[in-house]
Amino acid sequence: MLITSACTKEDLPVADFTFTVSGKTVQFTDASTNAKTYYWDFANGTSIKLEDRVSDKQSPSYTYAASGTYSVVLKVLNLDVTTQASYKTATVIVP
């Protein structure tokens, strides 16, 4: 017996988020749908260590060391039978 399962359009993850800036700290708020896993890249190119510039939290905050313009990426996965991913990139300006 072969059992198959397929994701419908309603099951696919859609990455989305908002953010607020306070000084050099940015609070990211997840607004994704159908997401079960989160990967954030805060685009802090000055950090060599990966763990200093990424997070797997749903709605993390991040403090930048310097003012600047950063392209932040959120990747979400649904991790169902067929893993589907969605990405959102936003430009964050830190004063």
Domains of the chain with bracketed CATH:
12-94 (2.60.40.10)
Task: Tell me the per-residue pLDDT of 40-86, one tens digit each, with 9 for 90 and over.
Answer: 888 876 555 566 677 889 999 999 988 999 999 999 999 765 678 99
pLDDT at 44: 75
pLDDT above 60 (res 36): yes
Range 38-44 contact pairs with CB under 8 angstroms and sequence separation of 24 or more: 38/74, 38/75, 38/76, 39/74, 39/75, 39/76, 39/77, 40/72, 40/73, 40/74, 40/75, 41/72, 41/73, 41/75, 42/70, 42/72, 43/70, 43/71, 43/72, 43/73, 44/70
pLDDT band at 4 (very low <50, low <70, confident <90, very high): very low
- Pick the more confident residue, 2 or 90: 90
